[in-house]
């Protein structure tokens, strides 16, 4: 291979089995360790030092140092002035190339910009990343209203209108167990955390193809979202209008109609909706 070849690192033995409290023999390849480092930074959403990363992924510090140095050299990680590590620009370029290859993202992004112009507000496309909602794409509205959740933002599912829609198609028991596991108190303290209430709200919002939240994740910010569903009826993403809380309730039905229509158009363009 070319410059992407990973350094030769020793296969590791003597990792700790934390379930049994005993030492076991294990072998982990260099590429697996590199992915563990990158996944850890992605999942935590914050820079970290080599020691913290090694501890989190349960790898020898010497091995992690070797891998990190090579990833930094290849621009897959970047080292901050304080020595902490973060995702590098090369990963961003890979992500852009992958996004361009997806018909769905191309179609949905085009509709996102159309809705932004039509509504005159910020519009986002969001997807699910395990127990979190992830902002996939975003079109800034013309107003001076600032939205803190930019592309790449991950927040617990119970904080947002989109988060509830993304699991609304699941069965009752599965939704309930999911919210028992992942519901968290939001910065404003206004997000619902009761699993039963969240499960019922998610099912209702999905059935109505509309979810609205205000001030739950950010002060004075509202979100009006609609699900984008595949032929199996699963919510694969959402499209939402993000705006000032007072504006949302002044013209709620107007924005609701717009966002529902956009979600349906995406489904039709993808061949997922026959009417």
Specify the 3-state DSSP secondary structure of 244: strand
Domain residue ranges of the chain, discontinuous segments joined by +? 15-88, 102-269
CATH superfamily of 102-269: GAF domain (3.30.450.40)
From CA 95, how far away is CA 110, in angstroms rounded? 18
Write the DSSP symbol of residue 126: E
Residue pLDDT, tens place only, 31-40: 999 999 999 9
Residue pLDDT, tens place only, 141-174: 887 677 778 898 999 999 999 999 999 999 999 9
From CA 154, how far away is CA 30, in angstroms rounded? 28
Residue pLDDT, tens place only, 53-109: 999 999 999 999 999 999 999 999 999 999 999 999 999 888 877 776 668 999 999
- Out of 3.20.20.140, 3.40.50.700, 3.40.50.970, 1.10.10.10, which CATH number does the structure's domain 15-88 have? 1.10.10.10
Return the sign of the alpha-carbon dihedral for residues 74, 75, 80, 84: negative
Instruction: Record the pTM.
Output: 0.69
């Amino acid at each position: 291979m070319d410059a992407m070849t990973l350094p030769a690192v020793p296969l590791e033995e003597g990792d700790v089995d934390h379930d049994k409290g005993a030492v076991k023999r294990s072998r982990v390849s260099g590429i697996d360790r590199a992915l563990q480092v990158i996944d850890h930074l992605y999942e935590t959403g914050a820079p970290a030092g080599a020691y913290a990363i090694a501890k989190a992924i349960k790898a020898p510090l010497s091995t992690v140092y070797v891998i990190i140095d090579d990833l930094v050299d290849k621009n897959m990680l970047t080292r901050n002035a304080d020595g902490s590590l973060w995702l590098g620009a090369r990963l961003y370029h890979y992500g852009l190339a992958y996004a361009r290859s997806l018909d769905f993202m191309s179609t949905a992004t085009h509709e996102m910009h159309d809705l932004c112009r039509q509504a005159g507000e910020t519009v986002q496309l969001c997807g699910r990343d395990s127990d979190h909602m992830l902002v996939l794409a975003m079109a800034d509205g013309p107003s001076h209203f600032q939205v803190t959740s930019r592309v790449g933002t991950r927040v617990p599912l119970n904080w947002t209108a989109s988060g509830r829609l993304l699991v609304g198609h699941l069965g009752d028991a599965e939704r309930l167990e999911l919210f028992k596991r992942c519901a968290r108190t939001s910065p404003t303290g206004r997000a619902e955390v009761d699993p039963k209430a969240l499960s019922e709200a998610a099912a209702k919002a999905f059935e109505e193809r509309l979810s609205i939240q205000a001030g739950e994740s950010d002060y004075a910010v509202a979100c009006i979202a609609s699900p984008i569903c595949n032929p199996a009826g699963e919510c694969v993403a959402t499209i939402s209008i993000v705006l000032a809380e007072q504006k949302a309730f002044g013209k709620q039905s107007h924005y609701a109609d717009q966002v529902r229509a956009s979600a349906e158009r995406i489904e039709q363009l993808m061949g997922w909706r026959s009417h």
